[in-house]
Amino acid sequence: MLWAAYGWAAEDESGWRAPLTLAVLGLVHDQLAGGPYGLFVVLYLSAYLIGRVAAVAMSAPNLVSLWGGFIVTAVLTIGIAAFVAPIALGENVSVALYAEAAIITAILFPLVRPLYMSASGAPRMQPGGRR
């Protein structure tokens, strides 16, 4: 889901569809995991919001810039998981498996990016500018 969240954020998907879809998928993930509702919703929506900021900050249309933005997104969601998971699941919970999955996802990003993101990067809207 990190790929989808970052992809939608980096491709400048403005509107309500991407965050709503991520929230619904987060609820489905919560249901399938048997955990409390909201944990994966928070992770997916935070990945989307972080991805929006990272994509703007690293907006050069090359793989290194896109990969750097995704790595920042993955690392920050690990931090959010470390903060939110103990609240949702109890004090003795570990986010090591999530961190491992996020790191592997970040490593594989260059291989799967062409499957769902445009090759040249998304044109960014500048304040007061036009596309």
pLDDT at 95 exceeding the cut of 50: yes
Q: What are phi and psi of 61, to 5 degrees?
A: -80, 55
Task: Say how many C-beta atoms besides its own lie within 10 A of residue 25's C-beta.
Answer: 16
What pTM, to 2 d.p., does this model score?
A: 0.80
Distance CA 33, CA 107 (A): 25
Contacts of 80 (CB under 8 A, 6+ apart): 42, 43, 46
Contacts of 66 (CB under 8 A, 6+ apart): 10, 55, 58, 109, 113, 117, 121
Please write the tens of the pLDDT for every residue from 29-87.
999 999 899 999 999 999 999 988 987 887 676 767 788 888 999 999 999 999 999 99
Range scoring the smallest mean pLDDT among 43-52, 67-76, 102-111, 121-130 = 121-130
